Each structure stands twice: as C-alpha cells, then as structure tokens.
Structure 1
Amino acid sequence: MAQQDSFLLYGAYGYTGRLVVEQAVGLGLKPTLAGRSRARVEAVAGEFGLPFTDFDLADARALDVELSKVPLVLNCAGPFCHTFTPFADACIRSGTHYLDLSGEIDVFRRAAARHCDFINADIMVMPGVGFDIVASDYLACYVKTRLPSANRLLLAVGRVEAVSRGTATTVLYQLGQPGLVRKNGKLAEVSTAWKQRRFDFGNGPELSITAPLADVFSAYYTTGIGDIECYVALPCAVPAWLLKITHRILRPQWLLGVLRRQLQKQHRAGPDPAERAAGRSSIFAEASSDEGQRVQVIMHGPEPYTTTAVVAAAAVRGVLQGKVKPGFQTPSPTFGAALISVIDDFEVIDLE
C-alpha cells in the first residue's frame, strides 16, 4: 500500500523538475525520483535523501512496475508531446493518477480525447499543473463568475524574461505549427501573429500576438466559453510580416533539428536563484458578452518557474489528500482557488 505522502516524480533532474522536488520535500512529501539517466537522478535523490529509480518510457514493463507502487505520477519531463502518451497508457493499466507541467495544446487534445478511458480506469489525468495553465485557468473561471453571460474570452501572458533549456526545446517543437484559437466552441487554425494587440501588464503597453497556447483548450473546459484567444507579449516590437516569414523559414524539420542540437549544447539550464527571486509574472484576462458587457482583470505573481514549483507541489498534495475527479480535468474545477492561494506575493486586480 502506497504511503499518503509518496508519489513518482519523473524528470527529477531537469531544471523545473528539480525545483518541484525541493518544493515537494518542503511540504513533507516523499517522492520517488525517476528519469532516464541513473547517474543524474541518483545525484538529485542523494541530495534530498529520497528513493529513486531509472527507466526509459519506451520500456512499458518497467513503467508498469514503477507506477504500480504509487497512487500518483507527476511528469516533469518534456517535451510532453513525447512523454504524455506512454504515461497515459501505463496509468490506465496501473490505475495511477497523472499530473504534468505541460503547456502544449496537443497534449490537452490527446488527454480530452481519452476522457472516457480515464473514467473507466477510475483515474484523474490533469496536464498543466504549472505556470501558466493554473494561473490562467483561475483567471478564466474568475471572469466567468463575474460575467456569467460571457461568450468571449481573451487571455494574455506577460513577457517572460528568461526560460529554461527545456522550455526553449518545447517551443522549438511547436514552431512551424499553425496558430490556434477557439471559435464557436471549436478549435480553428489561424495564421501566425493572426492578431496583434498591446496590453499594459504594469510597465506600459507591450506588443502581444495571438499564440496557440494550451489555455485555448483548457479554458474552454473550465468555463464553457466558446470564443477564446490567447496572446503572448513579445520581448521587442516585431512586425507581423516578419513573424510570418520566420514561421515559414522554421517549418523544415532539418532546420529545427539543427536548432535543437545547438540548444542542448548550452550550459545554462535556466534562470538562476537571483533571477527567479527578482522576476515577476503577469496574466491579463478579459471576458465579454454580446450585450456589450466586459470585465478585465490582471494577475501579478512570482517568476514563472517559482510559480510552477509551488503550484505543482500543491496539486500533488491535493491529489494525495483525495481531491480527485476521474477523467480528463483542468485545475480550477478540481482545486478551486487552492493552488493559487498557496502562492506568496500574488494579487488579482479588477480593471473594469
């Protein structure tokens, strides 16, 4: 019988995974750390005095054995388009609940498509228990509550000053893919930088463009709002025509492969502690109705990787304490404000 504080944390030696390990231990949880490299996972486990195991996700038998020992797995190993399906299959076989840190819309599509399979296995599968899904999901629910008649939702993520090597790799995998929005309840492909808009996240207007964030998917399941657009702030002013050209240039897979290999050579894994302590995150949300009503809010909080570690560990604790709804789930309907409330120094401001 698995202990109430035990779970499997896969990808423990990655930049974000290690932050989550530290946060989980601080909450009194006792994860079994896992990953493909025995030497790397053993090093992290030794630092925290935790059990560990190593296996490749292609080894279904090893995956089944390890998942049979725990009630829950938290997958921190991206790109999640490669790691989600092996875990989903194995979780169904073993009856193990699943969380991950994904912000990839394709992962959410796959999870939603298998909703009935997860219900039949009596497991909860919830991608995206990090920044920005947890924060944006809460804001989407918040503005929907303020304006129940809303049928349009806009979400915008403020500029992120520094990203980890893993995040950058995931972004590269997504380059060359079409833009996505939701229209009348259905996902619709749009061009790169389909729309541009300026948002004031607190330091003056910042140019932002539509982007195929997973929030387009998750916010629909959370709120039922049929028209959703997501934006990301650009690090500098970039003309739309240049973005469209860059998008076409980066489509060839051989070029993406070259860029990924160069990225792996970088020694810097992600923001250092001083950068994370100084960093901030912002998300803007706007809901509107056909009657001309509109509400706008903005959320300010800690740096994104710090936020991810805090809310991911809180989600794990919640599942281990019994906050479980079988099937594909999004954060707010399951946890309410419980995940956001554990974040220090965060605020939600009603703009109108």
Structure 2
Amino acid sequence: MEWMIYGANGYTGELIARYAVEQGHRPILAGRNEKAITELADSLGLPSRIFALDRAPKIAEQLSDIDLVVHCAGPFELTAEVMMRACIESKTHYLDITGELDIFELGASFDAAAKTAGIVICPGVGFDVIPTDCVAATLKQQLPNASHLRLGFDSRSRMSRGTAKTSVRRIGQGGAVRRDGKIVSVPLAYKAETIDFGGGEKMAMTIPWGDVSTAYHSTGIPNIEVYIPASPKLVKRMRNMNWVRWLFRAEFMKRWLMKKIDQQPAGPEEKERKAHYTWVWGEATNPQGEVVTIREKVMNGYTLTAQGAVTMALFVLNNPGTGGFQTPSKLYGPELIEKFRV
C-alpha cells in the first residue's frame, strides 16, 4: 500500500518522515516546495511528489494511487477542507496532526461522505489529540454516566512555528468549551483554577483545544473544558486581550504576527524533546458527584506526534474498518496511550 506525508518539509512533517524511515517504511513525501521536498526525500531515499493544495479535483489526481495521506501542512483552517474533499474523491484515507477545534468538527461533517467513499477521516493523530483523547475515553469507561469532563496537559517544551501560528490565528475567536453538548464561545482564559496535572499544583486556564470537539465524539459527555498551566500574570494578560480580540481577526494583524513567528526557530531540538515530557490529566464527574481522575506521563508532544502519526497510518492501512469520521481513541482504542508513556 502507498501512503503519503503531505507537508513533509515542515518541522513536524520532517519528524514524521524520519521516524517512518527509522521504522523501515517508505512513504511518499509531498508538498508544494519542490526544493525542500526533493532535498528531504533524496536524503532519506524516499520518493517525492510536488503539488499545491489549490483545487480538490487536481489534488485527487495526485492521490489516485495513494491509499492514505498524513496531512501536515497547516494552518489547517486554510488547507484541511480541500485535502479532505480530495481524499473523498480519490478514496484516500485522511489523517492529520491538527489541534484546531474547527477542523475536528469539519471532519465530523464529512462522516457520511467518507463512509460512502470507504475511507477514514481522522484528524489529530499526534499530540493533538491522542493522549487527551485516550484519557477521555478511559474516564468514560470508568464512569459511564459522567456528565462533566475536564482535560488538560502540562508541557514545558517550546512550540514549533506551526503550533505558534495556529495559536495566534485562534486568538481573535476567543475561547471555547462544550456545554450541554454544544460548542460555546467564551472569553480567553474563561476559567482559571489550581490543578495538579501530575507534577504538582499549578494555576491553569481554559483553552479552545481540540478535545472540546473530539472528547465529545469519543465519549458523548456533554460538558467539556480543557486546561493548560498559566501564571496569574498570563491569565490576566489573556483576559485583558478580550477587549482587543477583534484586532486579531484582522488579516493585516495575522500577517504581521506570522512574519514575527517565522523569525523564531522551527521547533525544539532533539535534546529538548528528550528532556521535556508531558503530563496529561483528566477528571470526570457524574450527577451524583462522583469524581474519577487520571494522570498520565507521556513523551514530548512533538516526538509523540511523529510516532503517533506513523502508528495510526499503519493501523488504518491494515484495519480500514467501515470508514467515516473517527477520533484516535475510537479508531484504535484508548489503550493507544500505552505506546507513548514514559
């Protein structure tokens, strides 16, 4: 079977490509930057393909002989829909490494079309959102009548440029939680409280993480919030930004911020990735007031994404199932997290 990594020349795409080769696999590397893709493919002894994400029919032609794509070219709000449509047209399984809330909901909207095409659409096959999604699914097993779910993670690793761009582009939309089964827009740093993610108590704030979408599809729990550590100073700053959130929706502001981010390093080096693991935390509560808590220590998010993307690609190729929209824990099972514990 043939599979492809699109956007392989990006920071995380290259990590995925290198890990695939280490494991003895030969994916096709693809993207629109001919020089970067060709150089990387040649250095790894892999085939390559050059095309842009302009129109779905043209992309589908490039995917006509491809069984699965791991899509790594973000921001996904600009690239995911056209790639999903092309995959449906070419009957190619679609995986990506997004953490963007709206992309998970977009994938869910293509559920019927994906089933008809006989393909899987599974966004978030990396740190976004494998470990948190598995924790959510396990909590549901342990407390079947849970009505509220809180998830979070504590990572000291630096962001890649791609993650930073995604985060900045989201600021203008504010925060998000799930309430009574519906995704609800809320202010930035909507809630703040002290949480022990696994390494001791820390101040934390809510963020519009992908689990606001995926955890609901995985568990059916109607009320979901996601937290990360944040100093009181950062919480205050984020709350003050609510007054000027409109400014971050302006295209000129987005372009300026993107240029600033492009001046930063591509992402954490291997030494930093090895040194900085991640704590993942989840808490489920039922109407009777029973509470179940899980804490998991997993590898660095970028290392997890590289290994998770390859793991899920091979799993789908060997276990395609009935297709449709999937989350990592629904597709593989919540035991997937066992592969990434440290």
Equivalent residue, structure 2, for 1:256: 254
Q: Which moved more, 1:163-172 or 1:249-258?
A: 249-258
Equivalent residue, structure 1, for 2:273: 276
Return the letter of the residue paired with 1:221.
Answer: H
Q: Is residue 163 of structure 2 the alignment partner of residue 181 of structure 1? A: no
Return the letter of the residue paired with 1:111.
Answer: G
Once the two structures are superposed, residues 87-118 of structure 1 have per-residue CA deviations (whole angstroms, 9 ceiling, x without a partner) of 11111111111000010011011111221111
CA separation of 1:250 and 1:186: change in aligned 2, threshold 3 A: closer
Q: Is residue 70 of structure 2 the alignment partner of residue 99 of structure 1? A: no
Partner Cα distance (1:152, 1:95) in 2: 37
- Three-state SS of the structure 1 residue aligned to 2:246 is coil
For the aligned residue pairs, the C-alpha RMSD in angstroms reads 1.5
Q: Superposed, which structure 2 residues align to 1:23-172 within 5 Å?
A: 23-172=19-168
**Among residues 302, 305, 322, which one is paired with 2:319 in the alignment?**
322
Return the letter of the residue paired with 2:216.
Answer: Y
Q: Is the 8 A contact 2:217 2:327 kept in 1?
A: yes
CA separation of 1:342 and 1:159: change in aligned 2, threshold 3 A: closer
Equivalent residue, structure 2, for 1:265: 263
Superposition deviation, residue 161 in structure 1: 2.7
Unaligned stretches of 5+ residues in structure 1: 347-352
Superposition deviation, residue 81 in structure 1: 0.8
**Among residues 227, 241, 247, which one is paired with 1:246 in the alignment?**
241
Partner Cα distance (1:313, 1:239) in 2: 35
Q: Is the 8 A contact 1:88 1:98 kept in 2?
A: yes
- How many residue pairs are counted as aligned between the two chains? 339
Equivalent residue, structure 2, for 1:333: 330
Superposition deviation, residue 204 in structure 1: 2.6
Return the letter of the residue paired with 2:286.
Answer: S
CA separation of 1:312 and 1:133: change in aligned 2, threshold 3 A: same
Q: Is residue 9 of structure 2 the alignment partner of residue 9 of structure 1? A: no
Q: Normalization by structure 2: what TM-score?
A: 0.95
Partner Cα distance (1:152, 1:61) in 2: 42
Partner Cα distance (1:77, 1:10) in 2: 7
Superposition deviation, residue 265 in structure 1: 2.6
Q: Is the 8 A contact 1:157 1:231 kept in 2?
A: yes
Superposition deviation, residue 59 in structure 1: 4.5
Superposition deviation, residue 61 in structure 1: 4.7
Superposition deviation, residue 250 in structure 1: 4.9
Q: Which moved more, 1:309-318 or 1:246-255?
A: 246-255
Partner Cα distance (1:217, 1:337) in 2: 17
Once the two structures are superposed, residues 237-274 of structure 1 have per-residue CA deviations (whole angstroms, 9 ceiling, x without a partner) of 326443222243353222232111121133x1100111
Superposition deviation, residue 19 in structure 1: 0.6
Identity of aligned residues (%): 36
Partner Cα distance (2:192, 2:99) in 1: 21
Equivalent residue, structure 2, for 1:230: 226
- Please state which structure has a larger fraction of its residues in helix: 2
Return the letter of the residue paired with 2:45.
Answer: G
- Three-state SS of the structure 1 residue aligned to 2:27 is strand
Q: Is the 8 A contact 1:176 1:248 kept in 2?
A: no
- Three-state SS of the structure 2 residue aligned to 1:255 is helix
Equivalent residue, structure 1, for 2:282: 285
Q: Is the 8 A contact 2:198 2:295 kept in 1?
A: no
Return the letter of the residue paired with 1:118.
Answer: A
- Three-state SS of the structure 2 residue aligned to 1:130 is coil
Q: Which moved more, 1:125-134 or 1:236-245?
A: 236-245
Partner Cα distance (1:324, 1:282) in 2: 32
Equivalent residue, structure 2, for 1:349: none
Q: Is the 8 A contact 1:323 1:335 kept in 2?
A: no
Q: Is residue 299 of structure 2 the alignment partner of residue 302 of structure 1? A: yes
Q: Is the 8 A contact 1:314 1:339 kept in 2?
A: no
Once the two structures are superposed, residues 201-240 of structure 1 have per-residue CA deviations (whole angstroms, 9 ceiling, x without a partner) of 3433211111111101000010010111111112x33264
